[in-house]
């Protein structure tokens, strides 16, 4: 093979390999302009606290937390599925010692504040939520941990865990308050369309960590509200039946995508060596 052709082939291989090493994954959109007609395709139903997505591919784990007062930290509490698909905290093991109050089987703001953190296997945008049961009221706040726009490489940080964060300090701990929603005022056909309610703003956020909590007045006032009767501590109690939204095809890239991988470096070195050899032989022939 002609040496110039060989050099060109090696250089192209280096560039192609490096480009593949830095390539990110594609984004499955959920619709836009207030339309969530495709969201049902990407749904997580809570038949367990670690369900697979529908279609399969993006798993999610759920962790429940309870904060006794507005000055204490969240402590992890067990989650249980009630009925076919009602995800909720379970206070049975804590009543009498934890003082967490009634209702025992709900996400609520009675006798403290409840929160559920969802950890997805890849960045997603949560654009629908369905409450399988609610009583009194069903106002909730929605958070995303260190969210980025779709298609942007996410960070590698993880949110704090049990005993290390409080509702009123979540924004300082890396959580973004997407907004607080009056579910029973805005739900239709058994779900609340977050995309429609926010006029598509929800589609600007993607994260591997999302949190849903019963409204805490002091926190809800720090972000946008969607509904007329949201600020009312102590009256919100609900169980989550499903989430739906958009997600990506492939897992995120390794953290150090800006640096060439060893194989890329080897290919580059091989190309440089070939070029130096060609120039040396050309000089020798001229001499």
pLDDT 10s digits, 192-224: 989 889 998 998 899 999 999 999 998 998 999
User: Greater confidence, 281 or 149?
Assistant: 149
How confident is the model over 131-139, as a mean pLDDT?
Answer: 87
Whole-model pTM above 0.85? no
**Rounded to whole angstroms, what are the CA distances from 273 to 7, 126, 135, 285?**
9, 50, 73, 19
**Rounded to whole angstroms, what are the CA distances from 30 to 53, 124, 143, 150, 272?**
15, 10, 19, 11, 46
pLDDT 10s digits, 2-18: 333 222 322 322 222 22
Please, which pLDDT band fits residue 254 given cuts at 50, 70 and 90?
Answer: low
Q: In whole numbers, what is the pLDDT of the chain averaged over residues?
A: 73
How confident is the model over 144-165, as a mean pLDDT?
Answer: 92
Mean pLDDT lowest among 17-21, 139-143, 208-212: 17-21
User: Greater confidence, 154 or 32?
Assistant: 154
User: Greater confidence, 6 or 240?
Assistant: 240
User: Greater confidence, 55 or 242?
Assistant: 242
Of 95, 83, 92, 70, which Cα lies nearest the Cα of 234? 70
How confident is the model over 258-275, as a mean pLDDT?
Answer: 50
pLDDT at position 184 is 84
263 three-class SS: helix
Mean pLDDT lowest among 10-19, 31-40, 94-103, 135-144: 10-19
pLDDT at position 210 is 97
Highest mean pLDDT among 95-109, 128-142, 261-275: 128-142
pLDDT at 39 over 60: no
Please, which pLDDT band fits residue 134 given cuts at 50, 70 and 90?
Answer: confident
pLDDT at 160 over 90: yes
Rg of the Cα trace of the chain? Answer: 25
- Residue that is written with structure tokens 């501590």 in the block: 233
Give the count of beta carbons closer than 10 Å to the beta carbon of residue 260: 17
List, in order of start, the domains of the chain with CATH numbers: 27-248 (2.60.120)
Residue 113 CA, distance from chain mean position: 21
| 241: its two tokens | 């039946």
Give the count of beta carbons closer than 10 Å to the beta carbon of residue 34: 12
Of 100, 101, 107, 98, which Cα lies nearest the Cα of 63? 107
Residue 274 burial by CB count (10 A; 0-12/13-18/19+): exposed, middle or buried?
A: middle
């Amino acid at each position: 093979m002609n040496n110039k052709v060989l050099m060109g082939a090696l250089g192209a291989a280096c560039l192609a390999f490096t480009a593949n090493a830095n390539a990110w994954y594609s984004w499955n959109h959920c619709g836009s302009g207030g339309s969530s007609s495709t969201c049902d395709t990407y749904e997580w139903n809570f038949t367990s606290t670690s369900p697979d997505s529908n279609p399969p591919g993006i798993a999610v784990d759920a962790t429940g937390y309870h904060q006794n007062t507005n000055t204490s930290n969240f402590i992890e509490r067990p989650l249980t599925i009630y009925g076919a698909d009602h995800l909720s905290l379970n206070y049975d093991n804590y009543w009498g010692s934890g003082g967490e109050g009634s209702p025992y089987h709900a996400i609520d703001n009675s006798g403290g504040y409840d929160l559920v953190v969802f950890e997805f296997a890849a960045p997603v945008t949560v654009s629908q939520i369905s409450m399988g049961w609610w009583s009194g009221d069903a106002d909730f706040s929605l958070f995303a941990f260190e969210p980025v726009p779709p298609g942007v490489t996410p960070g590698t940080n993880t949110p704090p865990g049990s005993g290390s964060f409080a509702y009123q300090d979540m924004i300082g701990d890396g959580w973004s308050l997407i907004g607080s929603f009056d579910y029973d005022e805005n739900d239709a056909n058994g779900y609340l369309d977050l995309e429609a309610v926010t006029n598509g703003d929800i589609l600007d956020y993607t994260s591997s960590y999302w949190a849903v909590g019963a409204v805490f007045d002091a926190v809800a006032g720090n972000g946008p509200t969607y509904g007329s009767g949201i600020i009312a501590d102590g009256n919100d109690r609900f169980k989550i039946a499903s989430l739906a939204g958009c997600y990506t095809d492939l897992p995120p890239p390794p953290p150090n995508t800006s640096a060439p991988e060893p194989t890329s470096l080897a290919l580059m070195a091989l190309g440089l060596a070939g070029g130096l050899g060609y120039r040396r032989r050309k000089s020798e022939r001229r001499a």
